């Protein structure tokens, strides 16, 4: 297989990975891949531009806590570097280097994992504002009821229903999880309770927060499916 064909394949894999893991199905991207191939698509995305679709896609992955899925990382792989010009490589590197530290996913140890009590007073070198906002969104009663009106009270990961499980006392009980932690730190962010919040049981909620930024609902479901078939 030629290097270019290998790159095509890696680009297509990147599309499906982002779709499956963070529910980002980049239509423009797959259309371009099929019409023009991976290399032309990547090169176009590496043209420096302000607020273009390439950056929007990159931002989408950053917001999902998965900048590692961005094609910039594939471009920078040692084996593919010869396919690109020095300025294309420099642009990819610039974008990767521009990521704030809090955008890069790191594990949260069990003793620090308290999704329901993300402390407002806790201070972080970076991301303090983000922490505060996330917990505010997850606790906001109006946002919560808008989310539950749309999605119901079943856990979006394991489908647990508290009333079914515990009877009357469980009626209406569920956590809501905010899916877009990093978007929250941008000044222009407007919460969309139907899209940005998701109902989850406390167990699944804690499992989503085993990473910071958190896992996506799709990733946690995939991990559970994998566990079930192991």
Whether the link from the prior residue into 90 is cis, omega within 30° of 0, is: no
By CB under 5 A, tell whether 136 contacts Zn ion. no
Both tokens of 47, joined, read: 């043209």
Interface characters, 48-87, with Zn ion (x: CB under 5 A): ----------------------------------------
Please check whether residue 137 is in contact with residue 195, taking contact to mean a CB–CB distance below 8 angstroms: no
Told to check if 201 binds Zn ion by CB under 5 A, we report yes
Residue 197 interacts with Zn ion (CB under 5 A)? no
End-to-end CA distance of the chain: 33
- Does 206 bind Zn ion (CB under 5 A)? Our answer is no
Give the residue with the Cβ less far from Zn ion, 61 or 155.
155
* Dihedral class, residue 37 (left if φ above 0, else alpha if ψ from -120 to 50, else beta): left
The answer to whether the beta carbons of residues 29 and 15 sit under 8 Å apart is yes
Q: Which helix (H) or strand (E) holds 197?
A: strand 197-200
Which of 157, 215 has the CB closer to Zn ion?
Answer: 157
CB of 17 to Zn ion, least distance (A): 23
User: Beta strand 197-200 with 175-178: parallel, antiparallel or unpaired?
Assistant: antiparallel
Size of the site for Zn ion (CB under 5 A): 8
In the list 33, 204, 207, 217, the residue contacting Zn ion (rule: CB under 5 A) is 204
Cβ contacts of residue 153 below 8 Å, gap of 6+? Answer: 161, 162, 163, 172, 173, 174, 199
Pick between residue 2 and residue 117 the one whose CB is nearest to Zn ion.
117
Return the range that interacts with Zn ion (CB under 5 A); candidates 22-30, 32-40, 153-161, 190-198. Answer: 153-161
CA dihedral 101, 104, 105, 109 (to 10 degrees): -20
Q: Does 160 bind Zn ion (CB under 5 A)?
A: yes
Stretch that binds Zn ion, among 3-11, 28-36, 48-56, 154-162 (CB under 5 A): 154-162
How far apart are the C-alpha atoms of 154 and 118, rounded to whole Å? 23
- In whole angstroms, how close is the CB of 111 to Zn ion at the nearest point? 17
Interaction between residue 158 and Zn ion (CB under 5 A): yes
Which one, 33 or 220, has the nearer CB to Zn ion?
A: 220
Q: Which residues bind Zn ion (CB under 5 A)?
A: 115, 155, 157-158, 160, 177, 201, 204
């Amino acid at each position: 297989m030629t290097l270019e064909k290998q790159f095509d394949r890696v680009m297509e894999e990147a599309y499906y990975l982002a779709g499956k893991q963070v529910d980002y199905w980049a239509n423009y991207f797959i259309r371009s891949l099929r019409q023009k191939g991976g290399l032309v698509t990547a090169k176009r995305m590496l043209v420096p531009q302000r607020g273009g679709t390439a950056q929007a896609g990159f931002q989408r992955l950053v917001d999902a806590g998965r900048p590692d899925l961005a094609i910039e990382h594939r471009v920078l792989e040692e084996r593919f570097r010869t396919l690109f010009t020095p300025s294309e490589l420099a642009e990819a590197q610039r974008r990767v280097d521009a990521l704030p530290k809090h955008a890069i996913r790191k594990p949260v140890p069990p003793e620090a994992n308290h999704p329901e009590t993300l402390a407002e007073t806790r201070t972080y070198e970076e991301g303090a504002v983000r922490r505060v906002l996330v917990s505010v969104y997850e606790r906001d009663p109006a946002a919560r009821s808008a989310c539950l009106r749309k999605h119901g009270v079943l856990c979006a990961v394991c489908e647990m229903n508290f009333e079914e499980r515990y009877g009357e006392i469980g009626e209406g009980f569920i956590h809501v999880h905010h899916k877009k932690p990093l978007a929250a730190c941008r000044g222009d962010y407007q919460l969309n309770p139907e899209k940005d919040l998701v109902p989850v049981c406390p167990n699944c909620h804690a499992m989503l927060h085993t990473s910071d930024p958190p896992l996506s609902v799709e990733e946690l479901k995939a991990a559970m499916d994998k566990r079930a078939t192991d």
